[in-house]
């Protein structure tokens, strides 16, 4: 027995099941429909300084409305921007991510 997990739109379910049956030769397919809750997020830009050079980073910031008001959930720089900065600066992507997040965190420290 093997498990294959696939995320798809509801209108694609039966096409995918048919493909799986043809490709794998299975005698049956189980499937489940699940729900997802997404929180509010927006994409913004920020110039950050690394080793005396300025780089532009797009980042996602996510919030949730709670009884306390708007609550910050996460700040996340876009991977592709981190990758570009890594190549230009010679630093690892992880190091660039940590430096970018430190600057972004200062902006949103009020939350």
Q: Model confidence over 39-92: pLDDT tens digits? A: 989 999 999 999 899 999 999 999 898 888 888 889 999 999 999 999 999 999
- The pLDDT-based confidence of 110 (bands split at 50, 70, 90) is low
Q: pLDDT at position 19, please?
A: 95
DSSP letter at 74? E
Domain ranges (residues) in the chain: 1-36, 40-107
Thinking of the domain 40-107, which architecture would CATH place it in? Roll (3.10)
pTM (predicted TM-score): 0.65
Task: Tell whether the model's pLDDT for residue 36 goes beyond 90.
Answer: no
- Residues 6 or more apart whose CB falls under 8 angstroms from that of 82 comprise 57, 93, 96, 97, 100
Do 62 and 39 contact (CB within 8 A), yes or no?
yes
Do 63 and 40 contact (CB within 8 A), yes or no?
yes
Calculate mean pLDDT across residues 26-50: 91
CA-closest candidate to residue 54, choices 81, 92, 93: 81
């Amino acid at each position: 027995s093997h498990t294959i997990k696939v995320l798809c739109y509801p209108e694609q379910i039966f096409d995918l099941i048919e493909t799986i049956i043809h490709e794998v030769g299975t005698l049956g397919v189980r499937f489940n429909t699940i729900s997802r809750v997404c929180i509010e997020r927006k994409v913004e830009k920020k110039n950050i300084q690394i080793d005396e050079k300025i780089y532009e980073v797009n980042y996602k910031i996510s919030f949730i409305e709670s009884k306390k008001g708007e609550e910050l959930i996460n700040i996340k720089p876009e991977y592709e921007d981190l990758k570009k900065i890594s190549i230009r600066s010679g630093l690892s992507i992880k190091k660039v991510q940590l430096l970018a997040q430190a600057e972004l965190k200062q902006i949103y420290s009020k939350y």
